[in-house]
Structure 1
Amino acid sequence: MRIALHTRVKPGRESEYDQAHREVPAELTEAIRRGGAHEWTIWRSGQDLFHVIDCDDYEALLASLADLPVNIAWQARMAELLEVVHDYSEGGADKGLPAVWRLP
């Protein structure tokens, strides 16, 4: 399944956000893969961030990461940098962007 998300960096924190993503902990990327993600790409346009996640089951992926200490630490770091954060709550799996069009 493919999920698209929108988050937003706080004004003036764009370079810090970019730098943080050059240093994503290996333990976290391994956990994301174990959780069923095959690919996760983030694009940034100004403050706006667009994520595309290819995974087996997005709800299961979120559940696998929700209580993981490395993810909790990462989300705390991201909360410092983001106005709109990635939602790891129970209802977070319903926060994806609706597909409007796709070239078949």
Structure 2
Amino acid sequence: MSKFISVKVFRGTLPNEERLGQFAGQPSACFRVATEDDAHVKCFHVSEPPFNADHLEDPDRIKSLVFAYLMFQGIANMEVELLGAELAAEYKVTEGENGGVEIERIK
């Protein structure tokens, strides 16, 4: 594992594009997951709902969501521009003392 993994969460609106179906024009969040040197970067988008801004207060929920999306390769590769995106939260993921994964909110 890298020294740490950065998770930045941006909130904005999905573009009003037909390819996005029912989610077009809806509020959304973009999760940018990267190693500390940005050598490996993945981004994925989650519509609101099911994602809720209150989820940002629970780092364990964010950790679970990030790892679940990274397991589904096709989801993390979808190209979408998030309109009016603003940084809503930032987390640092590190290896835990007992081999687990620790996550802390830094913004």
TM > 0.5 = no
Give the TM-score, by structure 2 length. 0.31
Higher helix fraction (1 or 2): 1
Higher relative contact order (CA 8 A, sep 6+): 1
Higher strand fraction (1 or 2): 2
Give the TM-score, by structure 1 length. 0.31
